[in-house]
């Protein structure tokens, strides 16, 4: 389906420890990071306190790094020249107050020569939120984590089950697919680790209650196996738009609207120029314009000029 | 997707891309498209990969792979995926059928070449013209087997071209006959033989012209007999067949059916009639009852469980009503009993065909063994034939009186309806109805359309006959089917549907809550009317903010040019195009001015003031600050296309949520599981 990728809510702790990636061949094809619990991540919706922001790169091409901390660990954000709104938002937010932020981001991974996997979040949207909204996010994320823990538990009782067989037990196809892949690749997930996350989340939401699941209080709680790529100015592969097919098409359509002054239409070269700023190649622009025309969304009133229908 | 489904594509592509890509490459790419990108449509996968190699999508119906197999009809096996056949159209007719709720137009009939004949169907052939007795090349056909007969299918990959060849069709060597029929005697026939050989005398043979599906056909029917008994017979295609009273014939490849419990011998396309020189002495016994075949004990079922296709079932039930009747069946007087049987799960009509010797009293309970069921007008009918035994039982059953006749078509609630369902039963209240005349394919047709609702949702309906529907009526509709429009299911009530008025137990539906669904559910089942979705607003897209509209047609325009109305004075409006994401899926939504003002607290004039100071493009950012990351419940109509669902929002409100209570609940569950 060409539909927009759903943004899964995950704790930092679940992303940490993820090293399984499936990549698509095509430029616009999505790639997924599979967590040890089988969640197939492409786009995520996370929240936490914004701490530690820094700017690398040049004034004309700034790279903004930021750390967002939830109750289970850290998310490492990196916004480059193709994420101007997100970069501007990070620049604006004062981390001194450690404000809560909500982030919609794409997962970007990179494995180095020594097989170490780095996971970054490339923010599409980042906004300040209040504590209530943060708590709501914690609750939704915890509820989903709990639900998926139970799915994994079910899958573990049928070790050789296929995707279809798991679907018959009530999972959706993508849930079953992710879990089968995860159990194949990773060691058996430690339920204590995830129970800890639930505990931390519930403690934050219900501060008055004494919540203790009887888990060992380990100093190495947040075992951050994933660290931000050290000393990297930019991650390789960050010079693309990070947009999937759906987003790119919406974006091009938006440009047609934007550049159409009402006389001749939106000039193709302007569209290409703006699109390249976002990391979309001229070839891709041509393909997308063709597709939009075939779908009847735009037409070419004058040669080289596009208009929305 | 299963490997088997992908192999044909891999084969095809390997042939077409020979020299450009290796089979391994192709396999990997196909696998990526199918399993990583999750593309279900194999044609899309093929087209996408072809495009990569600079070859356009194969929309041309004559796109065929390099090697093509042409076969004679007699050589067809019934498992060919693509085969070319040069054949004469022996017989063809146009048909319209409803398959899975969709109307399809077909051409069907018989093809023949010098080796034999076979039935064929051209799917979606409304624009196809085939002349009887003309010869065509059918390319890229596929074959299937049905009742041991090979069927030739021309789908949308197939191509038909007229050929200037004369073919001598052999009517007597039909295709697919893998083995000769089983040699049997009439007395041993059970009525379910697909292929049997008999040596018989034609006791009575009459040539008749009958109308079958509007076409005149010549058939021969009568009675055949051998030394063990007699049976009625029909030769369905009398061309070239001659049967005279008193003469003997070898019937080969005949099939038998039961009709009113009597075995009928049929000679169809596959069967042959050949005169033989034997003399067969027939018994003078009348048309014989079939010998009961060795019966497996019937499966015991409750009336509520019956499907209408049981051939052998045991039912313990009370006779709710029963009437002995004298009827004439095929010229013979018979006594039958008909009435209603009931148990605690429901009731159904029954007929006992050997009524003369049976006694079934109202109020008494009987065990009927080895009965068979049929459907008639979608109602289950229990048949007690001569294989059936009826024994009185001394038990009490409280038959479920208030429950009506057991229906076969599945009963559905409106919120569950989606594209592709056919033959469904639904009850609801008519919220609105109007009569229109539309022109369809040159014909003026009347349609009654409007809205119907139950407590789970609303749906648009179209009725193609006058069922006397009026606003406010509570009705039950049987055998309706669903067609979709932009992913929104529409209920169609047609010729085969039945509409009954029922008691209005629905109450005031105008205030009914919209049907609640998750985005994931909507993505799977398609759109709908008046749906309610709760999720987080994760994005606000281009096209949000202050927009201009043409005052005449209300379309959104840029500057002051409207495509239809030329230069106009634009009217300002406020809207948001957002993404609603609830963790199960992401859905686009368009929020109008009223709801935007309600949710963000920013009115059009506020926005215009802000724009005056900061520029129009700053408005979306402002709106975003007020709406992003918030959990909101949206209500509206949802359409669905290949890019996913999208909603036109009619109302919205922040999610009403008690975080503490929900958290406590989760805490309880986790504690219970861990401790």
Residue A26 confidence (pLDDT): 60
Q: B228 CB contacts (<8 Å, ≥6 apart)?
A: B185, B186, B187, B188, B283, B288
Q: How many CA atoms lie within 13 A of B534 on its CB side?
A: 11
Residue ranges of B 37-56 with Cβ closer than 8 A to chain A: 37-39
- CA nearest neighbour of B450 among B493, B415, B483: B493
- Is B396's pLDDT higher than 50? yes
What are the tokens at B340? 């209603």
Q: Say whether A140 and B644 touch across the interface (CB within 8 A).
A: no
What are the tokens at A137? 């996010």
- Is A156's pLDDT higher than 60? yes
A300 touches chain B (CB under 8 A): no
Q: What is the pLDDT of residues A45-57, one digit of tens each?
A: 999 999 888 888 7
Q: Say whether A133 and B629 touch across the interface (CB within 8 A).
A: yes
Q: Say whether B660 and A258 touch across the interface (CB within 8 A).
A: no
Q: Are residues B261 and B237 located together in one domain of the fold?
A: yes
Measure the CA–CA gap between B159 and B142, rounded to whole angstroms: 11
Residue B596 confidence (pLDDT): 95
Q: Which residues of B touch A204 (CB under 8 A)?
A: none
Note whether residue B636 is domain-resident. Answer: yes
Give phi and psi for A138, each to the nearest 5. Answer: -60, -45
Q: Are residues B378 and B468 located together in one domain of the fold?
A: no
In this prediction, residues B196-200 reach a mean pLDDT of 90
Measure the CA–CA gap between B534 and B632, rounded to whole angstroms: 6
Question: Cα B432–B437–B442 angle (5° rounding)?
Answer: 145
Q: How many domains does chain B have?
A: 6
Residue A235 confidence (pLDDT): 45
In this prediction, residues B50-67 reach a mean pLDDT of 51
Residue A240 confidence (pLDDT): 54
Least confident of A176-185, B369-378, B406-415: B406-415
Mean pLDDT for chain A overall: 82
Residue A200 confidence (pLDDT): 92
Q: Which residue of A has its CA nearest to B645?
A: A3
Q: What is the pLDDT of residues B121-133, one digit of tens each?
A: 998 777 788 888 8
Residue A123 confidence (pLDDT): 92
What are the tokens at A202? 């519930």
- Is B401's pLDDT higher than 90? no
Q: Say whether A195 and B538 touch across the interface (CB within 8 A).
A: no
Is residue B588 within 8 A of residue B578, CB to CB? The reply is yes
Going by pLDDT thresholds of 50, 70 and 90, the confidence category of residue B399 is low
Out of 2.60.40.1120, 1.10.10.10, 1.20.1250.20, 3.40.630.30, select the CATH number for domain A245-308.
1.10.10.10
Residue ranges of A 115-134 with Cβ closer than 8 A to chain B: 124-125, 127, 129, 132-133
Is residue B247 within 8 A of residue B224, CB to CB? The reply is no
Q: Which of A24, A205, A251 sits opposite B36 (nearest CB)?
A: A24
B24 touches chain A (CB under 8 A): no
Residue B403 confidence (pLDDT): 39
Note whether residue B670 is domain-resident. Answer: no
Residue B64 confidence (pLDDT): 37
Q: Say whether B624 and A127 touch across the interface (CB within 8 A).
A: yes
> Which of B136, B163, B190 is the C-terminal boundary of a domain?
B163
* CA dist list (Å): B660 to A147, A204, A210, B583, B657: 19, 11, 14, 21, 9
More confident residue, B67 or A165: A165
Q: Which residues of A touch B32 (CB under 8 A)?
A: 24-25, 29
Residue length, chain A? 309
Q: Which residue of A has its CA nearest to B625?
A: A127
Q: How many CB atoms lie within 10 A of CB A126?
A: 30
B542 touches chain A (CB under 8 A): yes
Residue ranges of B 266-285 with Cβ closer than 8 A to chain A: none
Question: Cα B66–B68–B69 angle (5° rounding)?
Answer: 160
Note whether residue B374 is domain-resident. Answer: yes
- Is A167's pLDDT higher than 70? yes
Q: Are residues B430 and B507 located together in one domain of the fold?
A: yes
Q: Are residues B567 and B601 located together in one domain of the fold?
A: yes
Is residue B177 within 8 A of residue B267, CB to CB? The reply is no
Does the fold of domain A245-308 match that of domain A7-205? no
Measure the CA–CA gap between B521 and B525, rounded to whole angstroms: 6
Q: Which residue of A has its CA nearest to B658?
A: A136
More confident residue, A220 or B259: B259
Residue A252 confidence (pLDDT): 87
A91 touches chain B (CB under 8 A): no
In this prediction, residues B299-311 reach a mean pLDDT of 82
State which of B402-411, B503-512, B608-617 shows the largest mean pLDDT: B608-617
Q: Are residues B630 and B529 located together in one domain of the fold?
A: yes
Q: Say whether B660 and A45 touch across the interface (CB within 8 A).
A: no
Residue A82 confidence (pLDDT): 80
CATH of the domain at B365: 2.40.50.140
Measure the CA–CA gap between A267 and A302, rounded to whole angstroms: 9
DSSP symbol at B70: B
- CA nearest neighbour of B407 among B477, B486, B495: B477
Q: Are residues B375 and B422 located together in one domain of the fold?
A: no
Q: Which of B563, B663, B674 sits opposite A202 (nearest CB)?
A: B663
Q: Which residues of B touch A25 (CB under 8 A)?
A: 29, 32
Measure the CA–CA gap between A229 and A19, rounded to whole angstroms: 14
B663 touches chain A (CB under 8 A): yes
Going by pLDDT thresholds of 50, 70 and 90, the confidence category of residue B469 is confident
- CA nearest neighbour of B576 among B543, B603, B617: B543
- Is A258's pLDDT higher than 80? no
Residue ranges of A 191-250 with Cβ closer than 8 A to chain B: 195, 198, 202, 205-206, 209, 211, 213-214, 246, 250
The ranges assigned to domains in chain A are 7-205, 245-308
Q: What is the pLDDT of residues A185-233, one digit of tens each?
A: 888 888 888 999 999 999 999 988 888 887 776 534 444 434 444 434 4
B661 touches chain A (CB under 8 A): no
Going by pLDDT thresholds of 50, 70 and 90, the confidence category of residue A236 is very low
Q: Are residues B157 and B199 located together in one domain of the fold?
A: no
Going by pLDDT thresholds of 50, 70 and 90, the confidence category of residue A234 is very low
- CA nearest neighbour of B427 among B400, B407, B398: B407
Q: What is the pLDDT of residues B143-184, one digit of tens each?
A: 887 767 788 998 877 888 888 877 777 544 444 444 457 788
Q: What is the pLDDT of residues B318-371, one digit of tens each?
A: 988 888 888 877 677 888 888 888 888 888 889 888 877 788 888 889 999 889
Q: B188 CB contacts (<8 Å, ≥6 apart)?
A: B228, B291
Note whether residue B675 is domain-resident. Answer: no
What are the tokens at B225? 């007999």
- Is A32's pLDDT higher than 80? yes
- Is A139's pLDDT higher than 90? yes
> Which of B393, B424, B439 is the C-terminal boundary of a domain?
B393
- What one-character-per-residue DSSP string does A77-145 give? EEE-TT-HHHHHHHHHS-GGG--EEEEEEEEEEEE-TTS-EEEEEEEEEEEE--HHHHHHHHHHHHHHH
More confident residue, A138 or B207: A138
Residue A31 confidence (pLDDT): 85
Going by pLDDT thresholds of 50, 70 and 90, the confidence category of residue A27 is low
Q: How many CA atoms lie within 13 A of B44 on its CB side?
A: 11
Give residue for tokens 């339920």. Answer: A191
Q: Are residues B588 and B472 located together in one domain of the fold?
A: no
- CA nearest neighbour of B178 among B143, B145, B153, B148: B148
- Is B512's pLDDT higher than 70? no
State how beta strands B299-300 and B313-329 pair. Answer: parallel
Q: pTM for the complete prediction?
A: 0.54
Note whether residue B40 is domain-resident. Answer: yes
B561 touches chain A (CB under 8 A): yes
Measure the CA–CA gap between A96 and A50, rounded to whole angstroms: 9
Strands (E), B441-557: 443-454, 457-463, 474-485, 488-493, 498-501, 515-516, 528-540, 545-549, 556-557
Q: Which residues of B touch A2 (CB under 8 A)?
A: 642-644
Expressed as residue numbers, the domain containing B375 is 299-393
- What one-character-per-residue DSSP string does B139-155 give? EEEEEEEETTEEEEEE-
Testing the interface with A: which of B575, B663, B674 to mutate, by most A Cβ within 10 A?
B663
Residue B138 confidence (pLDDT): 92
- A–B CB contacts, 8 A cutoff, strictly below: 132
Query: B237-245 — which CB contacts under 8 Å span 24+ positions?
Result: B237/B171, B237/B268, B237/B269, B238/B207, B239/B171, B240/B171, B240/B172, B241/B267, B241/B273, B243/B202, B243/B205, B243/B273, B244/B202, B244/B205, B245/B202, B245/B203, B245/B204, B245/B205
Q: Which of B519, B559, B581 sits opposite A261 (nearest CB)?
A: B559
Note whether residue B60 is domain-resident. Answer: no
Q: Are residues B540 and B650 located together in one domain of the fold?
A: yes
B581 touches chain A (CB under 8 A): yes
Q: Say whether B670 and A124 touch across the interface (CB within 8 A).
A: no
Residue B640 confidence (pLDDT): 80
- CA nearest neighbour of B491 among B466, B459, B458: B459
- Is B568's pLDDT higher than 80? yes
In this prediction, residues B40-54 reach a mean pLDDT of 75
- Is B62's pLDDT higher than 50? no
Is residue B298 within 8 A of residue B370, CB to CB? The reply is yes
Q: Say whether B664 and A206 touch across the interface (CB within 8 A).
A: yes
Residue A203 confidence (pLDDT): 92
Note whether residue B407 is domain-resident. Answer: no
Mean pLDDT for chain B overall: 81
Testing the interface with B: which of A2, A4, A149 to mutate, by most B Cβ within 10 A?
A4
Residue B296 confidence (pLDDT): 53
Measure the CA–CA gap between A93 and A100, rounded to whole angstroms: 10
Domain A7-205 homologous superfamily, CATH: Nucleic acid-binding proteins (2.40.50.140)
More confident residue, B75 or A134: A134
- Is B285's pLDDT higher than 70? no
- Is B409's pLDDT higher than 80? no
Is residue A259 within 8 A of residue A267, CB to CB? The reply is yes
Measure the CA–CA gap between A197 and A36, rounded to whole angstroms: 14
Note whether residue B66 is domain-resident. Answer: no
Q: What is the pLDDT of residues B225-236, one digit of tens each?
A: 888 888 889 998
Testing the interface with A: which of B33, B45, B534, B558 to mutate, by most A Cβ within 10 A?
B558
Give phi and psi for B276, each to the nearest 5. Answer: -125, 160
Q: B313 CB contacts (<8 Å, ≥6 apart)?
A: B298, B299, B300, B301, B306, B370, B371, B372, B373
Query: What proportion of chain B, given as a percentage, has pLDDT over 70?
Result: 88
Least confident of A85-89, B348-352, B417-421: B417-421
- How far away is chain A from the Cα of B4, in angstroms, using its nearest Cα? 15
Q: Say whether A139 and B666 touch across the interface (CB within 8 A).
A: yes
> Which of B475, B492, B511 is the C-terminal boundary of a domain?
B511
Any bridge partners for residue B571, and if so which? B549
Q: Are residues B485 and B439 located together in one domain of the fold?
A: yes
Measure the CA–CA gap between A255 and A275, rounded to whole angstroms: 8
B210 touches chain A (CB under 8 A): no
Q: How many CB atoms lie within 10 A of CB A239?
A: 12
Measure the CA–CA gap between B124 and B103, rounded to whole angstroms: 9
What are the tokens at B127? 């624009």
Q: What is the dihedral of CA B25, B30, B31, B33, to 10 degrees?
A: 130
Going by pLDDT thresholds of 50, 70 and 90, the confidence category of residue B510 is low
Residue B507 confidence (pLDDT): 74
Any bridge partners for residue A267, and if so which? A305
Residue ranges of A 143-202 with Cβ closer than 8 A to chain B: 143-144, 146, 172, 174, 195, 198, 202
Give residue for tokens 């999208």. Answer: B646
Measure the CA–CA gap between B651 and B534, rounded to whole angstroms: 12
Residue ranges of B 593-622 with Cβ closer than 8 A to chain A: none
In this prediction, residues B40-52 reach a mean pLDDT of 76
């Amino acid at each position: 389906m060409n539909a927009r990728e759903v943004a899964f809510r995950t704790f930092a702790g679940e992303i940490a420890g993820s090293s399984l990636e499936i990549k698509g061949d095509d430029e616009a094809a999505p790639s997924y990071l599979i967590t040890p619990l089988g969640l197939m991540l492409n786009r995520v919706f996370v929240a936490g306190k914004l701490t530690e922001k820094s700017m690398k790169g040049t004034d004309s091409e700034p790279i903004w790094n930021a750390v967002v901390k939830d109750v289970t660990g850290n998310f490492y954000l990196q916004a480059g020249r193709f994420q101007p709104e997100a970069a501007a938002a990070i620049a604006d937010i004062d981390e001194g107050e450690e404000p809560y932020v909500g982030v919609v981001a794409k997962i970007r991974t990179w494995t180095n020569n020594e097989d170490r996997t780095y996971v970054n979040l490339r923010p599409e949207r980042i906004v300040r939120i209040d504590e209530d909204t943060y708590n709501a996010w914690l609750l939704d994320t915890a509820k989903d984590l709990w639900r998926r823990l139970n799915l994994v538990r079910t899958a573990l009782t049928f070790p050789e089950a296929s995707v279809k067989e798991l679907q018959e037990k009530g999972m959706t196809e993508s849930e079953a697919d992710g879990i089968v892949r995860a159990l194949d690749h990773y060691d058996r997930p430690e339920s204590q680790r995830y129970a800890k996350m639930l505990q931390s989340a519930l403690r934050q939401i219900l501060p008055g209650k004494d919540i203790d699941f009887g888990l060992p209080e380990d100093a190495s709680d947040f075992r951050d196996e994933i660290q931000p790529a050290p000393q990297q100015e930019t991650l390789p592969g960050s010079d693309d738009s990070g947009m999937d097919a759906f987003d790119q098409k919406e974006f091009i359509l938006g440009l047609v609207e934007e550049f159409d002054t009402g006389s001749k239409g939106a000039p193709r070269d302007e569209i290409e120029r703006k699109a390249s700023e976002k990391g979309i190649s001229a070839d891709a622009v041509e393909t997308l314009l063709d597709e939009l025309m075939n779908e009847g969304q735009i037409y070419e009133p004058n040669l080289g000029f596009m208009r929305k229908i | 997707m299963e490997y088997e489904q992908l192999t044909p594509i891999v084969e095809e592509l390997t042939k077409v891309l020979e020299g450009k890509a290796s089979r391994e490459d192709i396999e990997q790419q196909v696998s990526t498209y199918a399993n990583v990108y999750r593309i279900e449509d194999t044609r899309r996968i093929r087209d996408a990969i072809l495009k990569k190699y600079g070859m356009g999508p194969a929309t041309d119906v004559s796109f065929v792979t390099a090697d093509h197999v042409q076969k004679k009809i007699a050589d067809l096996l019934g498992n060919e995926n693509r085969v070319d056949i040069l054949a004469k159209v022996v017989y063809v007719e146009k048909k319209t059928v409803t398959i899975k709720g969709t109307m399809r137009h077909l051409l069907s009939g018989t093809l023949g070449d010098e080796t034999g004949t076979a039935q064929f169907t051209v799917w979606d052939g409304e624009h196809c013209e085939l002349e009887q007795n003309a010869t065509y090349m059918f390319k890229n056909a596929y074959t299937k087997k049905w009742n041991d007969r090979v069927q030739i299918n021309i789908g949308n990959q197939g191509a038909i071209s007229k050929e200037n060849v004369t073919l001598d069709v052999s009517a007597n060597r039909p295709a697919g006959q893998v083995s000769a029929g089983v040699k049997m005697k009439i007395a041993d026939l059970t009525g379910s033989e697909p292929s049997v050989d008999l040596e018989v005398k034609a006791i009575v043979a009459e040539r008749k012209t009958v109308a079958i599906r509007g076409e005149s056909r010549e058939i021969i029917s009568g009675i055949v007999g051998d030394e063990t008994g007699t049976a009625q017979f029909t030769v369905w295609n009398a061309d070239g067949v001659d049967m005279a009273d008193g003469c003997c014939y070898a019937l080969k490849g005949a099939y038998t059916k039961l009709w009113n419990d009597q075995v009928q011998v049929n000679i169809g396309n596959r069967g042959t009639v050949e005169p033989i020189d034997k003399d067969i002495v027939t018994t003078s016994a009348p048309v014989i009852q079939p010998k009961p075949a060795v019966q497996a004990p019937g499966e015991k079922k409750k009336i509520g469980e019956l499907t209408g296709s049981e051939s052998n079932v045991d039912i313990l039930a009370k006779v709710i009503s029963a009437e002995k009747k004298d009827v004439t069946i095929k010229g013979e007087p018979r006594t039958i009993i008909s009435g209603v049987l009931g148990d605690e799960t429901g009731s159904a009509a029954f007929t006992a065909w050997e009524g003369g010797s049976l006694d079934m009293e109202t109020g008494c309970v009987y065990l009927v063994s080895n009965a068979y069921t049929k459907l008639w007008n979608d109602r289950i009918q229990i048949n007690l034939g001569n294989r059936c035994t009826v024994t009185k039982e001394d038990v009490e059953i409280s038959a479920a009186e208030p429950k009506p006749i057991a229906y076969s078509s599945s009963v559905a609630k409106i919120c569950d309806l989606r594209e592709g369902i056919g033959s469904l039963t639904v009850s609801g209240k008519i919220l609105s109805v109007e009569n229109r005349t539309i022109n369809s394919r040159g014909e003026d047709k009347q349609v009654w359309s409007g809205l119907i609702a139950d407590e789970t949702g609303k749906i648009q309906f179209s009725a193609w006959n006058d069922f006397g529907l009026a606003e406010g009526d509570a009705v039950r509709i049987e055998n309706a089917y669903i067609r979709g429009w932009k992913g929104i299911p529409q209920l169609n009530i047609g010729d085969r549907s039945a509409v009954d008025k029922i008691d209005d137990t629905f109450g005031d539906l105008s205030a009914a809550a919209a049907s609640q669904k998750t985005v994931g559910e909507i993505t799977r089942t398609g759109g709908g009317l008046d749906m309610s979705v709760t999720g987080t607003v994760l994005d606000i897209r281009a096209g949000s903010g202050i927009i201009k509209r043409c005052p005449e047609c209300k379309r959104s325009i840029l500057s002051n040019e409207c495509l239809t109305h030329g230069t106009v004075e634009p009217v300002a409006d406020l809207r948001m195009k957002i993404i609603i994401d609830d963790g199960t899926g992401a859905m686009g939504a368009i929020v109008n001015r009223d709801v935007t003002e309600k949710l963000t607290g920013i009115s059009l004039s506020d926005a215009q003031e802000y724009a005056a100071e900061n520029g129009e493009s700053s408005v979306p950012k402002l709106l975003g600050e007020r709406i992003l990351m918030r959990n909101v419940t949206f209500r509206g109509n949802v359409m669905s296309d290949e890019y996913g669902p999208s909603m036109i929002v009619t109302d919205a409100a922040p999610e009403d949520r008690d975080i503490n209570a929900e958290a406590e609940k989760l805490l309880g569950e986790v504690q219970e599981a861990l401790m």
